Amino acid sequence: EPEVTQTPSHQVTQMGQEVILRCVPISNHLYFYWYRQILGQKVEFLVSFYNNEISEKSEIFDDQFSVERPDGSNFTLKIRSTKLEDSAMYFCACPKREVTDTQYFGPGTRLTVL
Amino acid sequence: AQSVTQLDSHVSVSEGTPVLLRCNYSSSYSPSLFWYVQHPNKGLQLLLKYTSAATLVKGINGFEAEFKKSETSFHLTKPSAHMSDAAEYFCVVRVGTSGTYKYIFGTGTRLKVLA
């Protein structure tokens, strides 16, 4: 199975602080997605990103969230001012090659906001 | 709107007995459907997928699922449960058009395997 990696595996932060979650997708891929899973709830779509632009975002993805591709390989999800309700598992995913391919998920980053 | 409904939030089976995890979908056209598994404190692993080819789909670890259009179902089965199958299982439908696709997850079914 293709490998998608994420760092850190666990992030603890104080409410109001900024956090940056990182994802290294399947090599040289242009598409990637972020999903969120609040503890005990289902996985929810946050945003899709293609070729340095957001292609779709959910209602959850408000102005506090942003995505970037800072260096051509890594993708980041930034939360500017974290809230308690941002505590969740964040997964990035990308298809193997084409946008129609199956999405492979990273291991996730568990974000805890205190 | 496309969606999936997982009919059971929890399923318990004895080791060695069959597993049935139920999923119904709602879609106006032929959907792409997936089953993912999540072991405790782990990420999401693809079990199998249906993308309008054969209606009976075989996946990893002995799991399979059958796409039934007449019943709008995509149930996951395994003939004989193993202790290592204990996990959360998600039925997923892919939605979107060319350019971007996103996954819509069901609420999950937690499978417990009893010794």
Q: Say how far apart CA A87 and CA A113 lie, in whole Å.
A: 5
pLDDT reading at A65 higher than 70: yes
- Search chain A and give the residue with CA nearest B34: A102
Residue of A99, A104, A106 with shortest CB distance to B100: A99
**B11 against B44, higher pLDDT:** B11
* pLDDT at B31 (0 to 100): 86
Of B103, B104, B108, the CB nearest to A103: B103
B36 and chain A: CB distance < 8 Å anywhere? yes
pLDDT at A81: 94
pLDDT tens column, B97-110: 766 788 999 999 99
Cβ contacts of A105 within 8 Å, gap of 6 or more: A4, A35, A91, A92, A93, B36, B43, B44, B45
Tell me the pLDDT tens digit for each residue of B24-78: 999 877 789 999 999 987 789 999 999 877 889 999 999 999 999 999 999 999 9
Instruction: Set out the domains of chain A in order of their start, with CATH numbers.
Output: 5-113 (2.60.40.10)
Cα–Cα distance measured from residue B108 to residue B91, given in angstroms and rounded to the nearest whole number: 7
Mean pLDDT of A37-54: 89
Residue ranges per domain, chain B? Answer: 3-114
The third-level CATH classification (topology) of the domain covering B3-114 is: Immunoglobulin-like (2.60.40)
Using a CB-CB cut-off of 8 Å, the residues of chain A touching B101 are 48, 95, 99-100, 103
Terminal alpha carbon distance of chain A: 35
Kind of pairing, strands B32-38 and B44-50?
antiparallel
Q: Which residue has the higher pLDDT, A40 or A66?
A: A66
